[in-house]
Amino acid sequence: MIFRSAIVTFWQTVLFSFLWGGIAVVNLSAEDWDATLLSAAEHGEINPLTEALNHGAHVDARNVEGWTPLIFAAKIGNLEITKALLAKGANANGRSSSDEGSTTLAFAVHGGNLQVIQTLLDHGAKVDGRAKNGMTPLVYACQNGKLEVAAFLLSRGGDVDLFGSADSGGEFYNPLMAAAREGHAEVVKLLMAKGAKVDKKNNAGTTALMEVAKRPYPQILKMLLDKGANVNTRGTHGHTALIYAAYNGHLENIKLLLAAGADPFATATDDPDPEREFGRYDAVALAEQQDHPEAVGLIRAAQRRLRPPSGH
């Protein structure tokens, strides 16, 4: 059952205060008990939750946002309420029916309580269960830098290379890309130790190295290069990691990429920013257009080393 509002009315507030105080209230409708159950789960209150369950509240009742009591318990990391709901048959694989359609396990990842995550998995939650947008719990954990949670999900069979959407724009990321683009070096280290493939491409032809090249994370970029990432692999429109680094003016990234053999003459077929159009899409031109003179100097020096001017 779905309720029109997650905000309780005055009389419901009075009702909950009675229940939280251990005073039973019995002459309520089924909808009232469902509302009580949802509010109790949201606020982590076991007494009214138990009372509501004992009076027939729907264990998988939903509020207007499509959240169930178990989702609330998972999100706040409340183990006692999680166990109580599962004991009554709550669906461990439920998803919210709005926003991104996240799974209960994904909400538990947000809550960060490993015991809650373990309990959900022990009750049949799918470790790689996808939200409506394709997000998996492991991608979510890696994106948010939750090292212990990511390690635990991997220990329970999480797919280290499985792609899932990490934003609303439709571009997909696997755990390594999600961690790398957010600067979570320890998570990146964990994933590579677990066998993550560093050159996996997403639906835009982007690799983890390209994602990091766009951002000021030279430590992670070096980690990927040391692991054998292909420095000259190209995206769907010909972008290389060096082109991304030049466009964003990240000098340390440019130095590392050039030292690893990045092609300073590589040219893409369009601009990294889809809302702009320029006539040339090589690293030097894009760095010039974005007003990164030091980046221009580094790349031109690399070009001269490879193709010295005639007469020299």
Its domain, for residue 101, covers 33-126
| Final residue belonging to a domain, choices 176, 197, 218 | 197
Looking at residue 267, its pLDDT comes to 92
For residue 63, the 8-state DSSP code is -
Whether 283 maps to a domain, the answer reads: yes
| pLDDT > 80? residue 36 | yes
Residues 148 and 183 in one domain: yes
Residues 269 and 235 in one domain: yes
Radius of gyration of the chain (CA): 25
| Final residue belonging to a domain, choices 126, 151, 173 | 126
Which residue type is seen at 305?
R
- How far apart (Å, rounded) are the C-alpha atoms in residues 16 and 23? 10
- How far apart (Å, rounded) are the C-alpha atoms in residues 244 and 182? 16
Residues 122 and 139 in one domain: no
Residues 222 and 269 in one domain: yes
Whether 8 maps to a domain, the answer reads: no
Whether 10 maps to a domain, the answer reads: no
Total domains present in the chain:
3
Measured from the Cβ of residue 191, the count of other Cβ atoms closer than 10 Å reads 28
Is the pTM higher than 0.75? The answer reads: yes
Read off the CATH number of the domain in which 184 is found. 1.25.40.20
Looking at residue 273, its pLDDT comes to 64
Whether 120 maps to a domain, the answer reads: yes
- How far apart (Å, rounded) are the C-alpha atoms in residues 11 and 254? 63
pLDDT in tens, 175-214: 999 999 999 999 999 999 999 999 999 988 999 999 999 9
| pLDDT > 60? residue 61 | yes
Whether 174 maps to a domain, the answer reads: yes
Residues 38 and 72 in one domain: yes
| Final residue belonging to a domain, choices 106, 126, 146 | 126
Read off the tokens for 201: 């491409």
